[in-house]
Amino acid sequence: MGLFDRAKNALAGMDPQAMAAQAQAAQQLAAQQLARAGYSDGTLPTAAEGADLRERMQADHDVLNAYGQELNRVIAVGTPATGVITGAVDTGERTAGNAWYRIDVEVTIPGSAPYTVAKREMVAAQFLANYAIGSAHGVAVDPADPQNIALTS
């Protein structure tokens, strides 16, 4: 018995009202996830809105990729340092539902005087507490641009 035979047999024995309830629950979950990511107002997009939604999702994907690649590059080549967050302000920008913050970090490279960097950082809501003012972090400092840092812890 193949996959589709099993699916057909499972659906054949299912109550139509139960199937409709499952479908509605799945649609509600999809609508909630789209809203949480900032792609809708909590309703499912129409077919006509699909192309715009796909373009917005692709743009967010591209931003996330570029951001991640730059962080990885700085971590790979950066000078190890420590940083203390001295300020954080939500910029109002969102990418895939994640907020961007302007974070002020006092950076200390061993053997050098501390200096302040204003960094743009994407922070998912569940990790916001990790970026509290006064919190200490490991930092990688880009050797080509000391104002370009990546938090490593």
Specify the pLDDT at position 2.
66
Calculate what percentage of the chain has a pLDDT beyond 70.
Answer: 92
Reported as a pLDDT band with limits 50, 70 and 90, residue 9 is low
pTM: 0.77
Segment 17-33, tens digit of pLDDT: 888 888 888 888 888 88
Where are the domains positioned within the chain?
3-44, 58-151
- Tokens representing residue 129 in the block: 């507490």
Q: What is the CA radius of gyration of the chain?
A: 23
Residue 142 to residues 81, 107, 145: CA-CA distances in angstroms? 11, 12, 5
Q: Do 95 and 120 form a contact (C-beta atoms < 8 A)?
A: no
b/e 74-101 (16+ beta carbons within 10 angstroms → b): bbeebbebbbbbeebeeeeeebbebbbb
